[in-house]
Every structure is written in C-alpha cells, then in structure tokens.
A and B are shown apart, each in its own frame.
Chain A
C-alpha cells in the first residue's frame, strides 16, 4: 500500500496569535510534545493546570484552542480519564460551555480523548452524560505500536480531506471504542467518525494489531455534531518531525503524518475566529 501523504495543504493565513491551552492534571505526560506540535505549526501554546482553572487564576476565555494531552490523568484509576472528566463536569461545566459557544476548538488525544468521552462531550456533545466508552483493549494490555489511519469525510470542521492514510503511534491500554449497536449507528449516521484503523489495503479492519484495541467499526477518532470538538486515540503529536517515525531512515517522508491536524486547526481558527 502506498501511503498518501497529506502534503497539499494551504499555507498559513495570517499571523494572528492563536492561543492554545494545554491542559495539565496529575499524570499528564504527553503535554510537552503536544505543546511542541502546536508551536511548530504557528500556535501559541501555554500550559494550564486544571487547578489553575478551578482557582480562576487562569481562564479559557484567553484561548481559541483547548487541547487535552495524553497521559494517565490521576493514574487512570477507576477508568481512564474518569476522574479528570468528573472534575471538569463538576467545576468547569459553564466555562467549557462558554468556550464551545464562542466557537473554540477542543482536541483530546489518547487520555484526552478518554476524558472527553467520559465527560459526554464526545460524540454527541452531551456534557455530563456518557454515550460511548473507551473500554480496555481486547489484547488485555497496553499497546505501543504504529498503526495506519484513514481520514474519513466527516462533520469535523477543520479536517476536510477524504481518504488520506497515514502512520500514527498508539500508546494505550483502554482504547476500544464501544457502545450499543444503536449508538454506534447514530455515530455513523451523523458522520461523526473522523479516523478509522485500516489494513495494508487501506480498508477499515477489526483484525489485531492493525486495529490495536478492538474498536467497533475500527473507530479511532470522532468529532461532535458541531465539528469543533475532536478526539482520537492515536497520537498525531508524536509524528510532527520526521525522526519521530521509526522508519524515517528507509521511507521517504515528505511531511510528517501528524502535521496536518495541527496545521488545519490553526488555519481554521485563523479563518473563522
């Protein structure tokens, strides 16, 4: 299979400062590379600890993008992302709603995705009510490997190109996108699926390890109905430099495969906010 590189992207639109809130909590551990990814593609990222939002020392008002990094928030005790999700619902519900209403973008990667799902923001924007879950991997353990993703034509407001395939790193123990058949159908019918795990032929797959966790319909990333809240299990921020990819010495990489996600978010904000 030939990897299609997302390379034909528009250049940066203007030089308006785009503030990105990199949300930290106890156990966040992919914040530095996420910070770097946004910075590399023109954003102005800042670290904000959830305690600083709770104490009102900092506010989401100052940001256009809210980014929830990977890691093990509060040890992933009870369930991954659960405790942070409840903290966000309990103390920052209005602030998040205000942020969403003014058109801000939200991205959750890995543990950030788990958190967004457990707040209910993904996939249906029901803050406070869970509709799907990210259950333990079918393999029964943490998976650290590179898989292929296909970008679907979806409701996502900023990722619009169809059928692109790229390599991404997965690093999680609880990533199985799961719900009842009716809910999964609703997710599909509303075009909320942004990324799927695919095999060598580029077809969505249920076969391990191409589908590393057993996600239903090979769902790896989803958006909410507004298209502005987005989450995915694989890590685009871990492939924004060529040397981050294991086979950079043998494959010609024109552009790192995770780059377009950050570029497109930044460009969307430049054009729309």
Chain B
C-alpha cells in the first residue's frame, strides 16, 4: 500500500504570475508506511502548517477543471528520495520506497488541450525525464532479474556484419572492427558482450581522442598529431608545471607547498536534449575531475561558458528535434544555480556567446579549479595488491545507449524504465564524496583516484589497471535497482561515483571515514599483476582481455586535411551590427543620434549586455574566498574581467581565473580567431592584476565533425595555440576536444556550429591586495588606452603590453583597469562608468571606439604624467578624463546619457530572468 500525502501553500509566497487560475501542490508517495505513520510524517516533515495544508490519500486541489501530476519517470533518480527515506528512518519509520512529484490544478473554463498548451508553454513537463502520472502506481520498487552475458560470434562475421555490429552499438570504424576480429581469431574464442563494450569504450573517440592523436596529412604533407604538437610546445615552458596531460586535471605550483589545478570540459550532447540535467551532470563531472587529481584536491572555483542561439530566434528557424534557445538558456542557468550552489563551489566567472548557428548544437562548457598539497598532486599508480573501492552514488542504467530490457524479465513497472534517461545530478551525494575523500587524503589513505565518468567502471578501472592488471567483481557493485546485465553495470555512466585505490591495510580506516559522511563504499577490484583485465560476475568470468591489446591495440588513424580556405578578415576594425555577427558599419553614422543608436544596439546585443540577473542566482561567495566579485562599483553593477580567489583564507595568495573565446570570429578565420580567443583570455587575466608569466592555459576545442576541410581549419587553430604558447612562453596543461558539432537533419539539412576554441587561464599571484577592479574610482583622473588596436593580434607586442599592465598594477598606480573585448573600447569605458557612477570625456574615432580588438586595456590613472611613466615603451594613447556628470562624451561625435545606456544594456537579461 502506498500512502499519498499532498501539500499545498495556503498563504505566503505569491503564485506564479504567468498562470492566474492555477494551483500547485507537492505530492509525496510512501511505500511501506501505515496510514498512522504517514500522518506523523505529514505533520512533522512534509507540511508546515504556518503556511501549508495537507491531505492524506485524498485530493488537495479542489474544484479544478483539470489536475495533472508530473513525476520523474521510473528509473530516473529523484534526488529527494534518499532524504525522504532518511528523515522517515530518523523518526523510526522504515519505508520500502518513496517518491515525490508536483501536481497542478487548472481552474475555470479550460479544456484539456489548453492545459496541455500551458504545460508545454511553461515547460512544466520535461519529456526526457518526467511523465504525467495517469494512474496511481501499485509499487515504487523497480526490479528485474539480472540480464545474462552473451557471446558475440565476431570471428565468423563478414565486413557487412562487422559494420552492422559497430553501427548498432560500438561506433568503431571497419578497420578497428577488423583489428578486434583478428585478435579474437588469434586467441581462438569469441568475445562476450562486456568485452566488446570494453573495447568500444576504450577505443571511442571520447576516451581515446583518436583524431587529436592521428597522423594528419595536410595538403599532401604529413604533420605530427595535434596532441603531440601541443604537448611538445607546452613542455618547453614547464617551469610551474606539477602535472600536465596525464591526470584528470592539469596541476601547477602555488605557494607554501600547495599546488592548484584546473580542468574545463563540455557536456554538449546531453545538454542539447535536456539542458537542466545535462548542464548539472556536466558540472558534476568536471568537479569530480578536479577532485580526483593526484590524491585529492579541494574544488574552489568554477566557470560556466555557454554558446547558444539568440534567445529571440524565431521558432521556424529551429531544426527538427531541437529545443528553443530561450528554454535552453533558462535551464542551463538553473542547473548551474542548483548544482554549484548546493555543492558549495563558487561560480566565479563565465560568459555567454550567441550565434544563430548554435541553434542545433549548443555548447555547455564548465571549468573547475582546485587546490591540493603539492606532494599529493601527482597522479597515483596502483601497486600489486592494492584495492579499488567504489564510493558515492549507486549504479543504474544511466547513460547506456541502446540498452533494452527483455520484457520477460521484468515487472510491470520496470518496462517503463527509460534506459537512456538523462540523469538529474545529485549535488549532495557528490559533496559527501568530496568531504570523505579530503579527510582520507589528509590521513594518507589514498593511493590513487579516478572519476567514474564516461565509460564508467570500464574506463576507470581499466585505465587504473592498464599497467599491472586487475580483477573485478562486478556483482559487488551497489545498484539502484536489480535487473542490470553485467555489461550494463560495467559501462553505466551513473553520476556521483568515484573510484578510490588504496592499500589493503588502509581499507577499514577508509570505510570508517566514508561511514561518517554517509558515503556508501564497496570494494570492487584488486590490482593483481596479471597484466590482464579480468571481470567476474559472481563465479562467472564475463571478461578477460590483455591490457596490452586493450590499450595499445588501437591503430593510429591517418587523416587527410585541406587548407583551402582564405583568411577573410582584413586588418580593419570590425563592428558588431547585430547579436553575434560581425559586420562593418553599414555606413558611417552621420550624426549624434545615429552614433547613439549604434552604441545602444551594441550594448543590448547578446554577448555584451549585462548578465547580472544571472550572476545574482549563482553563489560566488561560498567558501569565503572571493577577492574580486563578478560585479563591483557603487551599485555593484559594473562587470569585471576575471575571478580572483583566495583559496587559503589566512594567506594573501591569489588564484586568478579567466577565459576567452570568439566563435563568430573563429568561424570567419580559425587562426586569427583562435589567437584572438587566447589573447582575450590572457588580457582578462592581466586586467585584474594577474601575472601572465605565472599562469597556465587550458584549451577546449568544440569543432564540427572533422572532414578534410574542418580538419584543415582545426590544424590552423592548433597552430595558433602553439604560436601563442611560444610567444608568451607559457604552457597549455590540460585540454579536451569535442569534435562533433555538426547537426544532420533527417531531410539532409546540415548545420555546423561555429568552430570554437575556448582558452581558460589560471595562475597565481602573491598578494590579492595588488589587484584591480573595473569601476572608475575618481573624478578628473586620466583614461588611457594601452595596447595596439589590431584584430590580428601582434604577438610580438602583446607580451610587452601585458608586462607593462601587470607592473603598473602592482606598482599601485593603476586605479582601475578593464580590457577591450567584444563591443570595443566604447563598451569598456561605458562599463567602467557604470561601476563608478560617473561619466567620461574621451577622444577617439568611430573605428577606434567600436573595434573589437583583444590585447588592449583601458586604464584609469591619476594624471597623464603617471601614464607616460608607466606605459613608456608600449603603444598607448591618452583617451580623456573621468567626469562627475554621468555622460559619455566622445569629442566631436556624440554625448550619451550613461543611465539611459545602462537601461538598454541591462534590459535584455532582466526581461528573460525577471
């Protein structure tokens, strides 16, 4: 019997403004409780009679024309359930199962169809993970008999059969399939499904980065693999590197025996289908990467970068099967809010980039940064006899594509389990895992850590044991529900799990720590020196592969690339005419009115307008480490360029974090667009007081599927990153590529997302007091432009400019600094006026004002003589002075009212986020 409690607000918080004749209620279903126990729970837990009322086993929304209940689909983990079970247990009530959902009642003259329309319009129902409850469930328990392990007769397959097998589930090419076939012919047996899945996962593009490791033939000339080129150049600048390209995140030296680490990763495909769950699990994954570095790091900061279609994109322009961009925007923001805030990692920095060509495949890129003791910062290696323990969330059928239940093995409810369900992250589960890891690290219990992300156990355990061999007992893995086949457990991508490698003597102490933090921990594998991957399910051996074949058997790919494109951008300033597109002025504005109209258009455009309403929902102050807020100034509404975090509260040391990207420009020109992106990233970094010489880079490629042409463009971008490292003498120490930003519609319609290189920068400064914000500080002070305004950034001059800016800031003579970016110099000056509640009187031409040239800075100093002293030897120009009157006066061109411009700049996101 399931007890159903419904709770509704009766006073207090306002109703949803958008629906006037509607009511909502929360529904709790409790299986295994008596009516009396349910009443206790309702009164003590679910309902606060100060402003709520409840019913037990009867409707609560009365007199409505239509009532619908929306619940998670069976099999999708509802994070609230474990809390419901816990609180019931604390009150002495043992529940067999529980669930929670939402109910909506619609009043007045509405039809069923209209209700459906409202539900769709307000996105009350998320079809990927939720469903409308049509009848009361008889049980909330999901169970089934475990699936069997099958033998795949690969040895006898012809090419067609091999291709079919790959196409259905393995996603390898024919050459790779033949290598696998040969192997099993050689060892004279056929593989199990688990073995094939292991090979497919280990050799997948996602895990093996076959394209970045491929031999590239560019216009007939052989080149080294992209990965080799990046790594070679990076290791020439290894002064601060503690660990690069080997662990889950790159690590650099910090101060006093500490190190800092960083990682950025995309989660594009899941976010395109289900932005909320996709962005959440994206955050969760990159946080685990940062924590699972060395013997464990504390995550101290995060960044969120989104590339989407403009929110006002007309519906008819949406390709088939894609979600509207305004919906994606709202849901990814909600995901960052709900995951980052809950887990207690500050969201310090981020950006939005709008371009129509992101309408099919948006980019969700999350960065995370951490701190760890330097002597525990190297990737751990298991030794013979070590154990692997899985901790955290349980394993379910999450993230397994194409998995199907055989109906004979299931209960009535299990048939409804959505095998490919997108997951909803559970931040608290991950938080307790992190808490346990940090305590175990400090007690010297951890040998090595591995995140259970893509590829699940297969990837994590396999990689850990690649050198020495490992035996796994899969039947020990704690499951969310019964009914999984061994191969499903093996490759499941259920979130919030980590693999911890430790010596047997440390096991009991480790388990005790896990218990303290309510973290489930189960020994699952042993490293044994066999040089084999042996997997058991009980007594049955379900996998037996040689590590040498698994990790070295994949043939290197040879890829053809063409560089048949022109660099279309000439060395003239480019102006933003509309959101996310680059045009020159249609015609030179004739009068003040036209100038102001152009400026307003620029300030309102998607990449440039104020994101404050979003930032006010992200917690950037948690941990108490924030030393430069996203917004500062009199009204705390002037945007800053980068984040400064003080990860050790009692020390003055700063971790500076910034990033840069420009998909629109990279689409026009992959080389100069990439240089621009990297320059923008380092300029943001230096503008706040960062020292570029003590910084490391992270590169993330999000590129259309690399055919010859796109591979040629990718080659140009890789060259740009190498040139940039060489010019600044700093390394890339971590990176990721996602080369599938091509949409193919059923009608032959193809859409390439703009090719995107995002460069993130992180590094150290000895004293956070020697940093700047962007809000003008004084009236009558001098405004200076430092740097060369050149869209093709001059890499010879750039280091000089960066050095001058940095030295000027630490000398204490810079009142304020802001870099020039999208929107040009005029936007920078405007934003500085916003923060200072003042105005500016400057002299510049239209081209100078609007040119979107990276590597330039607007600086406020006391007077001209100081500027001349500070910036001698670098290109600089005195622009004008700050004035008390809140006007932007540009000599000879226009005078604009700052407050009016501010409204224009703030309006777009205020409208979306209220």
Residues of A within 8 A of B (CB): 24, 26-30, 32-33, 36, 40, 49, 51-52, 70-72, 74-79, 82-83, 86-87, 90-91, 130-133, 135-136, 138-146, 169, 171, 176, 178-180, 214, 235, 237-238, 240-241, 243-244, 246-247, 249-250
Contact = CB atoms under 8 A, between A and B. Distances in A.
Contacts of B518: 26, 51
Main secondary structure of the interface of B (DSSP, over half): loop
Interface string B59-92: 0000000000000000000011001101100110
B48 A130 contact: yes
Given A146-B636, A244-B624, A246-B636, A77 B51 contact: no
B621 A77 contact: no
A138 B516 contact: no
B352 interface: no
B44 interface: yes
A217 to B, nearest CB: 14
Nearest to B632: A246
B431 interface: yes
B92 to A, nearest CB: 8
21 contacts: A27-B431, A30-B624, A32-B624, A33-B624, A36-B624, A51-B517, A74-B428, A76-B342, A83-B83, A83-B90, A87-B90, A135-B12, A141-B617, A144-B615, A144-B617, A171-B621, A238-B621, A243-B768, A246-B629, A249-B771, A250-B777
A75 B426 contact: yes
B209 interface: no
B90 A86 contact: yes
A141 B624 contact: no
B619 A171 contact: yes
B45 interface: yes
A180 B50 contact: yes
Interface in B510-556: 515-518
Interface string B319-344: 00000000000000000010001111
B650 interface: yes
Contacts of A72: 341-342, 344, 427-428
B83 A78 contact: yes
A97 B432 CA distance: 29
Given A87-B90, A250-B633, A179 B621 contact: no
Nearest to A128: B44
Contacts of B195: none
Nearest to A27: B428
Given A33-B649, A82-B45, A49 B516 contact: yes
Nearest to A241: B649
Interface of B: 12-14, 44-46, 48, 50-51, 79-80, 83-84, 86-87, 90-91, 337, 341-344, 426-428, 431-432, 435, 515-518, 615-627, 629, 631-634, 636, 646, 649-650, 768-769, 771-773, 775, 777, 914
A71 B344 contact: yes
Residue among A30, A180, A214 with the highest chain B CB neighbour number at 10 A: A30
Contact of B517 (A30, A49, A178): A49
B772 A78 contact: no
CB-CB nearest 3 A-B residue pairs: A29-B344, A33-B624, A77-B83
Contact of A32 (B13, B86, B623): B623
Contacts of A76: 342
Contacts of A40: 650
Contacts of A141: 337, 617
Given A29-B344, A32-B623, A82-B45, A75 B13 contact: no
Contacts of A243: 627, 646, 768-769
Given A86-B45, A130-B48, A144-B617, A26 B517 contact: yes
Given A135-B13, A250-B632, 20 more contacts: A28-B344, A29-B623, A36-B649, A51-B517, A52-B516, A72-B344, A74-B86, A75-B79, A75-B342, A76-B342, A77-B79, A77-B84, A87-B90, A90-B90, A141-B337, A145-B616, A171-B621, A180-B50, A243-B768, A249-B777
B619 A144 contact: yes
Nearest to A180: B50
A82 B634 CA distance: 38
Residue among A24, A75, A91, A244 with the highest chain B CB neighbour number at 10 A: A75
B45 A136 contact: no
Nearest to B650: A36
Contact of B90 (A33, A71, A91): A91
A179 to B, nearest CB: 5
B51 A178 contact: yes
Residue among A33, A74, A235, A246 with the highest chain B CB neighbour number at 10 A: A246
Nearest to B631: A246
A236 B50 CA distance: 28
A142 B341 contact: yes
B331 to A, nearest CB: 13
B428 A249 contact: no
A212 to B, nearest CB: 9
B775 A250 contact: yes
A27 B12 CA distance: 27
Contact of B83 (A75, A131, A241): A75
Nearest to B816: A249
Nearest to B768: A243
A53 to B, nearest CB: 11
B84 A178 contact: no
A71 to B, nearest CB: 6
A29 B624 contact: no
A235 B84 contact: no
A133 B385 CA distance: 54
A180 B629 CA distance: 38
B622 A30 contact: yes
A88 B426 CA distance: 23
Contact of B44 (A28, A86, A138, A176): A86
A243 B48 CA distance: 40
Contacts of B342: 27, 29, 72, 75-76
A170 B12 CA distance: 21
Contacts of B516: 49, 51-52
Contacts of B777: 249-250
A142 B86 CA distance: 25
A169 B627 contact: no
A135 B51 CA distance: 9
Nearest to A173: B341
Contacts of B623: 29-30, 32-33
B45 to A, nearest CB: 6
A91 B623 CA distance: 29
Contacts of A90: 90-91
A246 B628 CA distance: 6
A29 B619 CA distance: 11
Contacts of B622: 29-30, 70, 171
Contacts of B435: 24
Contacts of A86: 44-45, 87, 90-91
B462 to A, nearest CB: 31
A28 B435 CA distance: 10
Contacts of B90: 83, 86-87, 90-91
A265 to B, nearest CB: 18
A127 to B, nearest CB: 13
B632 to A, nearest CB: 5
Nearest to B431: A27
Contacts of A238: 621, 624
B616 A143 contact: yes
A132 B50 CA distance: 7
A136 B617 contact: no
B50 A130 contact: yes
Contacts of A133: 48, 50-51
A23 to B, nearest CB: 13
A247 B775 CA distance: 9
A246 B774 CA distance: 12
A30 B626 CA distance: 13
Contact of A78 (B46, B341, B625, B626): B46
A143 B622 CA distance: 12
B389 to A, nearest CB: 19
B617 A142 contact: yes
